[in-house]
Structure 1
Amino acid sequence: MSSTSSSTSNSQTDPEYQTTTPKNESDATFEVNLEEHEHPQNLSLSKRWLIVVLISSSSLCVTCASSAAAFAETGMSREFHVSKIVTILSISLFVEGLGFGPLLVGPLSEVYGRNVIYRVSFTLVFAFSFAVAFAPNIVVMLVFRFISGFCGSAFLSVAGGTVSDLFVNEEVATPMAFYTLSPFIGPVVGPLFSGFINQNVDWRWTFYVMTIWSFVQTVALFLTVPETYVPVLRKWKAARLRKQRGDDKYWSPLDHEQKNIWRSILVSCYKPFQLVMYDQMALLLNLWSSVVLGILYLAFQAFPVIFGDNHGFNMQEVGLSFLGIGIGMAGAMPTQLLWNRILAKQASKHNGHLPPEAHLLKGELGGVLVPLGLFWLAFTTYPHVHWIVPIIASVPFGAGSYYVFTSVFTYLVSAYRPIAASAMASNSAMRSTVAAVFPLFAGVMYERLGTVGATALLAGVMTVMAPLPFVFRRIGPRLRARSRFAVS
């Protein structure tokens, strides 16, 4: 189906594109709609993909900053005269900021649009990066790490909404898979360069590099990424028509909804909490992806033990040990072409309409690969086992993690399309909170249980959660029919 025909179909079926009921026939006459050529889904394919690439690279930059600090911990501890657990907070607080931020910026994007959120977000990330890089003490460092994470969080929630703005359900799987890779391969890329930096130069260079990168991303966002949220585009068009024609009768649904703007913001801010409180699928799928991300961030404390203590790796070699996870994630990305064929068959079984639960097929494979990789990793962490074996074991964990994240992300965007950004915000908040906590107890857990016992415990937890996508793929339609948020 072409983009043009698909977008026309969407305008008839998606609540996001539906109009409010006019008070009378005169009101309906002056209701503003987008022309076909004005709809973001009818931008050229190259333009839409350029936008996806830029917001994905911004997401990569933010999440890379979260993990890069792991290898600066020794330098921070020495210069600021604080303990190891305090320096770990530089990761935890940044990730916690990533978790809290979407609760505000995600819903706000549905009021003010995506673009202004991106521009303000990365401008602040760039500004606060200076405070982190030149922090005179640990308190300033930690405070601005949290604020930087908070400001950069837009790309873990709003970006998913942008992808759904640009592509219809039948086309969204591939760009969503590409975007999904960026925030989760980012924590893997961080140690790769941070290990080399901290092995050879001062630890502050870790944050100098991130400051430069954030500046480049800020410029690119201002120059290239347009607004894509249809209700806001309709509101802007109505304002233009009122000004050009001198007639105040032109309106869009968002104009009527924003009579009490503060109430609208308040409602938008608690919407993610409503979603996880009242929707069983959203809650459990969010929890599942949260534990996977928590284990990924726990690895920043576990790998130095596994490869540093057991195999005598130096700092930059420990950083390179994360390549296995990265190869698994990157290797899983091209399989989206195969998944597209599978999804097309699923759509044909449902009269051409792809049910959101079909995206959980990837989650089923991911649910198996994650515990498999962790069990393999657990029983190959002995010092007498060659170091390449646990690195290879981390490949299926990386691939499985990718499948878990992309299946949950795409499901949330498809099933909760009218509130896509809020759905992503609820997921981001939960998984980032879990990821912030896991590194704090990693050291104690690995010290008391050993590398085998601690990793096997994590594998056991993921084994218990593995049936979730299998169950929800079958009962999902019934749960969506009862949901106050999902598209039935």
Structure 2
Amino acid sequence: MAVPTKPNDAITTASQPVELELGTVPPLVAPKRPNDADPFLVAFDETYDAENPLDWPSGRKWMVTDVLSATGFNRIMVSTIMAPALSIIASELHMSATESAMSLSIYLLATAFGPLMIGPLSEVYGRTVVLHGSNVWFLVWNIACGFSKTKGTLIAARFLAGFGASAIYALAGGVLGDIWRPEQRGKSLGMYLLIPILGAAVGPIIGGYMAGRTTWRWIFWATSAFQAVMTVASFYCFHETSGALILHRRAARLRRQTGDPRYYTLSERLASSSTTIAVLVRTLTRPIRLLAFHPIIQVSALLAGFSYGIMYVTLSTFSDLWVKQYHQSVEISGLHYIACSLGEIVASQMGGPLMDYLYKRNQEHGATPESRIPLVIPGFIVAWLGVLMYGWVAQYRQFWFVVDIGVFIMMFGLQLGSLSLTAYVIDSYREHVSSAMAARQFSSSLMAFLFPLFAPSLYGKLGYGWGNSVMALAGFVLSVPLPLLLWKYGAKLRGRARSTY
């Protein structure tokens, strides 16, 4: 497969483009920097560079995006697929109500801590090795869940499977930031999320039918079979997207083929005075440093975490609502998760193009990452209105379709607000997107783990109406002033922030 290239400062002359065959070593000449300031600094050509992921053909970008999306679908689906089968699993493995809830949410606890390590490592060793390694790790432990004979084994295997699955949360933002330009951010995020957001909602539907028609163990064996297919596919379809690693390989090739050790990349120069251990320590602590010292990460983590926690409260209790409140079967209760899925799908497909439209319109006046914020506030306001509607309609056992409409509105708003907030973080931390996303995911997964643990007692004491009212009120308090703070002061906060290195 031949990929036509334009003049490339590191591998072509200034006037002669070449045909570069994928997987081959290009013809080598002395590199020519844009201003000849440093002829040995290896960097991407600012006009066009065939090796620069931002300049890849659209087909290759979408292939990488789709592989990541399909992988994310399975990993996220596993987080909720066992929800309808919890009572059956608890009975067979002699689990208390708290232990069965723990077996579901421990997966999310692992996704809080996994990205803190996996995200930074992908910035050093590349995206491919992290994706492939996490695929295998997740596959092994998800299979182990299906063979669990005791509650301790199931909970431990779920935690370890979640640790491997968590790579997708750090990788997704990093990879999309690697290959898509800011003006394409909305479309790429919307299309990427189209499949994974189905996972959280489709999981309980599939799990409900499996629990009702066969053993609950097939919940894990079936998802493992799909994961095995995606693991094989990723080896052939997923290409390295880390610009820093691609340049590092180019510089190494130049040094080897010319015998001149003076070729270097910017990242190599930054790390030249540090030992390998020091580089790893600095890398692995980056998400914690971002969370501790960067107000933008702190605010976005709080907003994303709270909304993610409320979403998992709904996902973890939705089946019980239909079984206990409306006296429907487990299989039918799972079908109501379609409303959750539809809300997220519509939001991602409407919000992505709208976000790009607003960004391009602001480009005439100098678009900044803060151009993403205007969609955050209305998105979350709509979400909390949906929470109120869902709660009070369910409280008085009104027609089931009205309940589903409330959940649809809630999920639509949450997805719209989160989509814009994710784009804001990606645009603000272009150098270390994976670490920034890992820092944000820490709070999201932690709240998604904790909130469902309190949901049964919350609804038991206050009911669906007042229980959802409490959550909606807290959502309104957070979701209006904090985005306004980012919109007004975000640029100043970014300018004063400590270096992400």
Q: Is the shorter-chain TM-score for this pair beyond 0.5, marking a shared fold? A: yes
Report the counterpart of residue 146 of structure 1 in structure 2.
Answer: 159
Identity of aligned residues (%): 26
- Checking the alignment, whether the CA contact within 8 Å between 2:107 and 2:163 is kept in structure 1 is yes
Counterpart selection for 2:358 from 337, 342, 351: 342
Query: Quick one: which amino acid aligns to residue 365 of structure 2?
Result: K
Deviations 1:71-107 (A, max 9, x none): 2312221221111211111222111111101100101
| C-alpha displacement of 1:190 | 0.9
Map residues 11-90 of structure 1 onto 2, 5 A cutoff: 28-34=38-44, 36-90=49-103
1:344/1:33 CA distance change after superposition, 3 Å: closer
Give the Å deviation of 1:441. 1.2
Equivalences, count: 464
Partners of 1:184 and 1:476 lie apart in 2 by 28
Aligned CA distance change for structure 1 residues 180 and 283 (closer, same or farther; 3 Å): farther
CA distance in 2, matches of 1:355, 1:486: 19
- List gaps (5 residues or longer) in structure 1: 9-24
The match for 2:117 among 84, 89, 104 is 104
CA distance in 1, matches of 2:244, 2:37: 17
SS in structure 2 of the partner of residue 29 of structure 1 = coil
1:309 to 324, 342, 348: 324
Partner of 2:282: 267
CA contact (8 A) 2:90 2:100 kept: yes
- Asked if the contact 1:96/1:146 (under 8 Å) is kept, the reply is yes
Amino acid at match of 1:44: P
Q: Which amino acid aligns with 2:348?
A: M
1:70-219 alignment, distance < 5 Å: 70-219=83-232
Structure with a larger share of its residues in helix = 1
Q: Which amino acid aligns with 2:394?
A: T
1-structure distance, mates of 2:363, 2:39: 37
For the pair 1:473 / 2:483, whether they are aligned, the reply is no
How far off is 1:428 after superposition?
A: 0.8
Deviation at 1:486, TM superposition (A): 7.9
Amino acid at match of 2:493: L
Cα shift at 1:186:
2.2
Q: Which range moved further: 150-159 or 379-388?
A: 379-388
Q: Distance in 1 between matches of 2:320 and 2:171?
A: 36
The aligned runs of 1:331-480 (5 Å cut-off) are 331-335=346-350, 336-350=352-366, 354-467=367-480, 468-480=482-494
CA distance in 1, matches of 2:96, 2:205: 24
User: Is the Cα contact below 8 Å between 1:286 and 1:408 reproduced in 2?
Assistant: no
More off after superposition, 311-320 vs 339-348? 339-348
Task: Give the Cα separation in 2 of the matches to 1:142 and 1:384.
Answer: 34
**Structure 1 contact 60–182 (Cα < 8 Å) conserved:** yes
Q: Distance in 2 between matches of 1:235 and 1:27?
A: 20
- Determine helix, strand or coil for the equivalent of 2:130: helix
1:368-414 per-residue CA deviation (whole Å, 9 max, x = no partner) reads: 11111001111101354111111111111111111121111110010
Cα contact 2:84–2:319 (8 A) shared by 1: no
CA distance in 2, matches of 1:251, 1:338: 41
CA contact (8 A) 1:184 1:402 kept: no
Q: Work out which of the residue numbers 264, 269, 281 in structure 2 matches 1:251.
A: 264
Within the alignment, does 1:230 sit opposite 2:240 as a pair?
Answer: no
SS in 2 for 1:38: coil
1:21 is aligned to none
Q: What amino acid is the match of 2:150?
A: N
Contact in 1 for aligned 2:193/2:348 (Cα 8 Å): no
Q: Deviations over 1:199-232 (max 9, x none)?
A: 1111101101110111111111111111111110
Deviation at 1:478, TM superposition (A): 2.2
| Structure 1 residue 28: Cα displacement | 3.9
2: CA distance, partners of 1:47 / 1:134: 38
Aligned equivalents of 1:383 and 1:304: distance in 2?
Answer: 17
Indicate if the aligned counterparts of 2:387 and 2:472 stay in contact, CA closer than 8 A. Answer: yes
The answer to whether the 8 A contact 1:302-1:446 is kept is no
Give 1:161 deviation, angstroms. 0.7
1:483 aligns with 2:493: no
Q: Of the candidates 294, 299, 309, which is equivalent to residue 314 of structure 2?
A: 299
State the TM-score, normalizing by the size of structure 1.
Answer: 0.90
Supply the distance in 2 between the matched residues of 1:138 and 1:370 (Cα, whole angstroms): 36
Separation of aligned partners in 1, 2:325 and 2:380:
29
Q: Would the aligned equivalents of 1:101 and 1:150 in 2 still touch at CA under 8 Å? A: yes
What is the distance in 1 between the residues matched to 2:298 and 2:226? 35
Offset, 1:481: 2.2
Q: Which amino acid aligns with 1:360?
A: I
State the Cα distance separating 1:145 from its structure 2 match. Answer: 0.9
C-alpha distance in 2 between matches for 1:409 and 1:423: 10
Instruction: Give, in angstroms, the shift of residue 182 of structure 1.
Output: 4.6
CA distance in 2, matches of 1:388, 1:111: 49
How far does residue 457 in structure 1 lie from its aligned partner after superposition?
1.2
Compute the displacement of 1:337 (Å): 2.2
